[in-house]
Amino acid sequence: MSVKFKPSRILFVASIVFYVFIVLGILLTVVLNSLSKGWFSGVLPPYLTTEWYAYAANDHDIPSLLGVTFTVVIADVLISLLIAFPAAYVLARHEFKGKALLLSAFLLPMIVPPMTYGLPLAMLAYKVHIAARVIGVVIVNLVPIVPFMVLVLLPFIEQVGTNLESAAKMLGANRWTIFRRVLVPLTVPGILTASILSLVKAISMFDLTYLVAGGNSQTIVVALYADAYAAGARPPQAVDALAVLYFLIAMTCLIIALKFVSPTQMVFKLK
């Protein structure tokens, strides 16, 4: 049986192979450079060493850097969940004029370039004296994460029928009991999905964090940018070593997210 090779199929496969080759090539170059010594020519470095990772660790307080990073990320996820869940519940249960416009507005922080609203937001943060502090980084990053979490939670809450809440009321349950015993258990997959996806999103956010972060409130991505572009000479291998560390952290979070969450679960519904 002969196999027909359609031009569209060949083009698709070639595009995928080319894309994977470029991405893996870039990643492999960064990893090899972070482990190399005296790599000025040739396909592979002549010497491999881990001293650049030690250099990056000595140049930065890595435990403190990671502590600030995960403090900001976890705080953003928890605060966003406290705000987004009630907001998503109201949007799922009530119809009102301008609802579609409001839902569309939630997409703006994900569509509009962060610098567009990040600069005025950073100016406000400096004006109220929360910039260059961890609390300022947390508050600023809530701006894109909260609407993102609302849109992720919305379909899951809409799947919970209102008849279940009505039945619980008829049996004498109050609002808190309905929320705790009916709504939350049935929306646990949505809460887990929104939390993990928001965590992955928060750990990779740079623009807003860079605008308000200070010496003691730097996340690892801001420290990486400072090493690459700030004043002072740093070996490019040490910069790549910190980049590999950041990549491993981000990929670990992404793998955990994909372990529990399917990308098809994130559905935005605009009526």
Compute the distance between CA of residue 36 and CA of residue 122 in angstroms, rounded to an integer.
Answer: 39
User: Above 90 in pLDDT, residue 156?
Assistant: no
More confident residue, 161 or 119: 119
Give domain limits for the chain: 7-49, 60-265
pLDDT value at residue 269: 44
pLDDT (mean) for 180-203: 85
pLDDT value at residue 139: 92
The pLDDT tens digits for 35-88 are 888 777 777 777 788 888 888 888 888 888 888 889 999 999 999 999 999 999
State the pLDDT confidence band at 268, using cuts at 50, 70 and 90. Answer: very low
The pLDDT tens digits for 21-37 are 898 888 888 888 888 88
Residues 244/34, Cβ–Cβ less than 8 Å: yes
pLDDT value at residue 83: 94
User: Above 60 in pLDDT, residue 261?
Assistant: yes
More confident residue, 173 or 17: 17
The pLDDT tens digits for 85-118 are 999 998 888 888 888 888 888 888 888 888 888 8
pTM beyond 0.85 = no
User: Above 80 in pLDDT, residue 177?
Assistant: yes
Architecture of the CATH domain 60-265: Orthogonal Bundle (1.10)
Compute the distance between CA of residue 120 and CA of residue 249 in angstroms, rounded to an integer.
Answer: 30
- State both tokens at 259: 């372990």
- Mean of pLDDT over the chain: 83
Percent of the chain with pLDDT over 90: 14
SS3 per-residue string spanning the chain: CCCCCCHHHHHHHHHHHHHHHHHHHHHHHHHHHHCEECCCCCCCCCEECCHHHHHHHHHCCHHHHHHHHHHHHHHHHHHHHHHHHHHHHHHHHCCCCCHHHHHHHHHHHHHCCHHHHHHHHHHHHHHCCCCCCHHHHHHHHHHHHHHHHHHHHHHHHHCCCHHHHHHHHHCCCCHHHHHHHHHHHHCHHHHHHHHHHHHHHHHCCCHHHHHHCCCCCCCHHHHHHHHHHCCCCCCHHHHHHHHHHHHHHHHHHHHHHHHHCCHHHCCCCCC
